[in-house]
């Protein structure tokens, strides 16, 4: 492949920076690179909610790939990247110009030559290669890649420059912000001077993850926009929970495009504008009595399975389905005519999900049917748990069925889809029968209060208030902000930090006691200091649960 690169470069001049960005349609919406979660089927699902004329203008990133493994192991490539059909040169899924462009392929790496070898293998099937400099997880620290390269700016420069000088397609990079505006600006300038055509900035620092994720700093991204050359193409990442946040982010940061990761996982339709209020929405879009609406989980699940059938499994057209139920259809006849859904291979029991054959290990599946180890199958279960997070918190039988679903078992996922459809239908009928009162018990306090709470920057109340929908509608998962996580006990300080705080608190408590005759204020300084210490020393004072969902 390397020998073909000069000829390809001569045939099509390599574009850079804004010229390159404009050549791929100047996309404003960007599907983030996510570990095992931004694979082909999910990219297709995310684009499916936009009109055909706009689908190609959504830029998508591949999941983050390990450059050395991608370059050295055919098995790794076969599992994670399928641009051609097995044993053939015929175009297949990833990067197919007819259905999956524009596409950037992202790698993590710390060796310029290993990165280049991997990039050359991917280059014929994508529009650009991206270097991950944002992953904050422990595995990135152990492997010395992602955000844990940011202390080695010389290595970062060599990694990007090597690709820029040796690939016939552009190189881009994604970074996280640093402690100060000046340090972050120098970081961005280093990446751009090495040859990056597009810079994506995640507005959080490396330490902001898990319970201490907190808010992304859009003002830091605005500072970069104002201090980098005007021709710089800049993408903003962070705080994108709903469609309305995209335009707010563009206005606040001045970025050219907005990238979404977890917001996209919760709602793959996040980049699609909601149907206008004066128009009848499609069957799959629900609008409540208060005018608040969103895409129904059964509609999204149907689309996802249809994509798996049509593209991944090659079953075209997908299996026929009845029109999606809406109140006013022949309600009772449909629900009463069909028996309860039974999962394949299981006995009839509560919810049709009684225990069946033991779930197979991945190693066993790999031996029996290696084709099922591909990314599009591996991503199904985590995708549905994320997508149905609010749904399964109420319907535990669906959660149990999903937990027992075997890798690549499409029949089981189809049965789960039918379970979801029935429960959504029952929920919609109950909503209509009670005049909307059936969901009142689920309404968060922040939404039901007569007086909305103040916009506290350390509170998630506003986000909860704006994003809440009934359980049958896709909606974001709202993380508690650090102060809230601290109050709930979700963040625990180390013994060393507690000992240091105890010494500092001794004098403060004595002073506070003198100011309060009854001593009731003695606890106040301790609580305040504990909260401050936890948020001040994020990485040093807390332990974070690892997550493989989002690359950062």
> Which two structure tokens, joined as six digits, stand for 539?
């990485």
> Given the structure tokens 């689908």, which residue do they identify?
55
> Given the structure tokens 């259809």, which residue do they identify?
329
Three-state DSSP at 308 gives helix
**What whole-number distance in Å separates Cα of residue 387 and Cα of residue 19?**
37
Beta carbons within 10 angstroms of residue 512's beta carbon = 17
The per-residue DSSP string of 485-550 comes to HHHTT-S-B-HHHHHHHHHHHHHHHHHHHHH-TT-TTTHHHHHHHHHHHHHHSHHHHB-----SS-
The whole-model pTM stands at 0.85
pLDDT digit string (tens) for the chain, length 552 residues: 333 333 333 456 899 999 999 999 999 999 999 999 999 999 999 999 999 999 988 999 999 999 999 999 999 999 999 999 999 999 999 999 999 999 999 999 999 999 999 999 999 999 999 999 999 999 999 999 999 999 999 999 999 999 999 999 999 999 999 999 999 999 999 999 999 999 999 999 999 887 667 889 999 999 999 999 999 999 999 999 999 999 999 999 999 999 999 999 999 999 999 999 888 899 999 999 989 999 999 999 999 999 999 999 999 888 999 999 999 887 667 777 766 677 776 544 444 444 445 566 666 666 778 889 999 999 999 999 999 999 999 999 999 999 999 999 999 999 999 999 999 999 999 999 999 999 988 887 655 554 445 566 667 777 888 899 999 999 998 877 777 666 666 656 555 555 655 565 565 556 555 555 444 444 445 444 444 443 343 333 323 233 333 333
Strand 128-133 versus strand 171-176 pairing type: parallel
Roughly how many angstroms between the first and final C-alpha of the chain, as a whole number?
31
**What whole-number distance in Å separates Cα of residue 56 and Cα of residue 73?**
31
User: Residue 287: phi, psi to the nearest 5?
Assistant: -130, 125
**What whole-number distance in Å separates Cα of residue 94 and Cα of residue 390?**
31
Beta carbons within 10 angstroms of residue 244's beta carbon = 14
Task: Provide the annotated active-site residues.
Answer: 135
**What whole-number distance in Å separates Cα of residue 109 and Cα of residue 65?**
9
On whether the CB atoms of residues 508 and 502 are closer than 8 A, the answer is no
Strand 293-295 versus strand 285-287 pairing type: antiparallel
């Amino acid at each position: 492949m390397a020998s073909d690169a000069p000829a390809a470069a001569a045939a099509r001049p390599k574009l850079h920076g804004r010229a390159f960005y404009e050549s791929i349609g100047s996309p404003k919406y960007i599907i983030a690179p996510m570990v095992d979660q931004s694979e082909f089927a999910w990219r297709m699902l995310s684009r499916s909610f936009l009109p055909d004329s706009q689908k190609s203008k959504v830029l998508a990133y591949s999941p983050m790939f390990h450059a050395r493994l991608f370059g050295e192991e055919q098995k790794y490539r076969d599992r994670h990247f399928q641009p051609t059909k097995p044993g053939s040169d015929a175009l297949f899924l990833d990067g197919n110009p007819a259905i999956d462009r524009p596409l950037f392929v992202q790698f993590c790496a710390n060796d310029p030559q290993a990165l280049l070898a991997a990039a050359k293998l991917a280059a014929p099937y994508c529009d650009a290669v991206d270097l991950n400099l944002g992953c904050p997880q422990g595995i990135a620290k152990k492997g010395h890649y992602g955000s844990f390269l940011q202390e080695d700016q010389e290595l970062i420069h060599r990694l990007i420059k090597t690709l820029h000088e040796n690939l016939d397609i552009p190189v881009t990079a994604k970074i996280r912000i640093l402690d100060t505006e000046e340090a972050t600006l120098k970081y961005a300038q280093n990446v751009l001077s090495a040859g990056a055509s597009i810079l994506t900035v995640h507005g959080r620092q490396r330490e902001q993850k898990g319970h201490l994720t907190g808010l992304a700093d859009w003002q830091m991204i605005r500072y970069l926009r104002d201090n980098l050359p005007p021709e710089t193409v800049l993408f903003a990442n962070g705080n994108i929970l709903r469609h309305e946040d995209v335009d707010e982010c563009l206005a606040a940061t001045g970025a050219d495009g907005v990238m979404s990761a977890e917001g996209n996982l919760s709602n793959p339709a996040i980049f699609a504008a909601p149907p206008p209020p004066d128009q009848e929405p499609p069957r799959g879009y629900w609008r409540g009595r208060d005018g608040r609406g969103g895409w129904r989980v059964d509609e999204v699940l149907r689309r996802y399975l249809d994509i798996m059938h049509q593209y991944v499994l090659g079953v075209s057209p997908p299996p026929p389905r009845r029109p999606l139920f809406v109140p006013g259809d022949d309600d009772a006849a449909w629900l009463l005519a069909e028996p309860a859904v039974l999962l394949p291979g299981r006995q009839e029991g509560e919810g049709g999900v009684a225990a069946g054959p033991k779930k197979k290990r991945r190693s066993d599946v790999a031996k029996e049917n290696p084709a099922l180890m591909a990314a599009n199958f591996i991503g199904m279960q985590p995708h549905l748990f994320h997508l149905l997070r609010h749904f399964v918190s109420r319907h535990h039988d669906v959660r149990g069925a999903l937990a027992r679903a075997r890798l690549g078992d499409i029949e089981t996922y189809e049965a789960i889809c039918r379970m979801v459809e029935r429960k959504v239908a029952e929920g919609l009928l109950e909503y209509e029968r009670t005049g909307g009162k059936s969901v009142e018990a689920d309404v968060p306090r922040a939404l039901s209060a007569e007086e909305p709470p103040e916009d506290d920057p350390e509170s998630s109340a506003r986000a909860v208030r704006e994003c809440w929908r009934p359980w049958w509608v896709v909606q974001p998962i709202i993380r508690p902000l650090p102060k809230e996580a601290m109050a709930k006990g979700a963040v625990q300080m180390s013994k060393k930090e507690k000992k240091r705080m105890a010494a500092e608190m001794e004098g403060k408590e004595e002073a506070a006691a003198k100011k309060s005759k009854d001593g009731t204020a003695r606890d106040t300084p301790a609580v305040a200091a504990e909260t401050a210490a936890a948020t001040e020393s994020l990485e040093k004072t807390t332990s974070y649960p690892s997550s493989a969902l989002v690359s950062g």
